[in-house]
Amino acid sequence: MPPPTPTVWTVRALLVWTTDFLKTKGVEAAKLEAELLLAHVLQTDRTYLTMRFDEEPTDAERAKYKELITRRLAGWPVAYLVGSRGFYLLNFDVDPAVLIPRSDTETLVGEALKRLKPLTAPAVLDIGTGSGCIAVSLAHQKKDSHVTATDVSPDALAVAKRNAIKNNVADRMTFLQGDLFAPLPAGVTFDLVVSNPPYIAQSEFAELAPDVRDHEPRVALDGGPDGLAFYRRIAAAVGPFLKPGGSLLLEIGWKQDAAVRALIAEQPELELGPTIKDMGKNPRVVTAKKK
């Protein structure tokens, strides 16, 4: 049963009712999602909602909020509904053309920054940039770097460019549309190559959460029959694009560590490094260097 209807729809009443309603529908982060969606409707930050508890949103605002709640229960991710997601201290525009940034990917950014810190004016390549969350975060944190970002999707690149402008790093970034290394000019080399490639095996799609499976771009998820298609291609092709001693960092699914390390070990130009674990202690980033 839905919770009782309040007599006056204040901000507080809306949040309490919606949180209880989402809980009855099995939404795990009901309170957080209710707050994020209402803050979006009221064009404010979630942290300021408590200061507006006694305000009464207009009928139009309540109608928009109800529409967003309905879409959320139909499976749409909150990030797409509000059009943004926080990642590595920044805010990124997102839409259904790009994968929603995950906190696990911050492990890749953190490791990349460790390797970039001692370098002067490093050149960085992000393969399959999507929203640009990795590339833009690196450019933002490493002020003297130049970051090149590639993606096969022109729509994804448009989002990444928007995020570079939004976070004031566009003047130190280059965006190229094409498959993996294909759009890069001949002879270009990098101090660091990073990628969070598609790594879901085709047989695993049925097991994905509905909001991921039905709404996030399949091109950013589909790693081929065994989930390793892009790791094979990157490992085989990256050598000429790395400077001597340059690093390769690849985000992986938590069950893929041994398989991806084996693929890299087959490449005579590459020397395997440690696998970095995420905050949940799962293998998350396979590392290597060019010999």
Take residue 56 and report the two structure tokens written for it: 């009464």
Percent of the chain residues topping a pLDDT of 70: 98
What does the pLDDT look like over 66-77, one tens digit per residue?
A: 999 999 998 899
Residue 193 has pLDDT above 90, yes or no: yes
Per-residue model confidence (pLDDT) at position 202? 86
The pLDDT tens digits for 91-150 are 999 999 999 999 999 999 999 999 999 999 999 999 999 999 999 999 999 999 999 999
Candidates 159, 120, 115, 118; CA nearest to 136 is: 159
pLDDT of amino acid 45: 84
Q: Are strands 146-151 and 123-127 parallel, antiparallel or unpaired?
A: parallel
β-pairing, 190-195 vs 242-251, is parallel
Q: Kindly give the residue spans of alpha helices, DSSP state H, lying in 207-289.
A: 210-215, 229-237, 257-265
Burial 267-278 (b: 16+ CB within 10 A, else e): beebebbebbeb
CA distance 224 to 203: 9
Long-range contact set of residues 202-211: C-beta below 8 Å, sequence gap at least 24: 202/227, 210/75, 211/75, 211/76, 211/77
85 pLDDT higher than 80: yes
CB 288 within 8 A of CB 273: yes
The binding site consists of 128-132, 151, 196-199
pLDDT digits (tens, 9 = 90+) for 211-226: 788 788 888 888 888 9
pLDDT digits (tens, 9 = 90+) for 15-72: 999 999 999 988 888 999 999 999 999 998 888 888 888 889 999 999 999 999 999 9
Task: Judge contact between 271 and 289, C-beta under 8 A.
Answer: yes
Q: How far apart are CA 247 and CA 253, in angstroms?
A: 20
User: pLDDT of 146-165, one tens digit each?
Assistant: 999 999 999 999 999 999 99
Q: What whole-number distance in Å separates Cα of residue 79 and Cα of residue 76?
A: 9
Q: Residue 247 has which token pair?
A: 């690093």
Positions at the binding site for substrate: 196-199
User: Could you tell me which residues are beta bridge partners of residue 32?
Assistant: none
**AA identity, residue 256:** Q
Residue ranges for the binding site for S-adenosyl-L-methionine? 128-132, 151, 196
At residue 214, the 3 state secondary structure works out as helix
**pTM check: above 0.75:** yes
* Rounded Cα distance, 112 and 12, in Å: 42
Q: What is the mean pLDDT of residues 153-180?
A: 97
In CATH, 85-290 is 3.40.50.150: yes
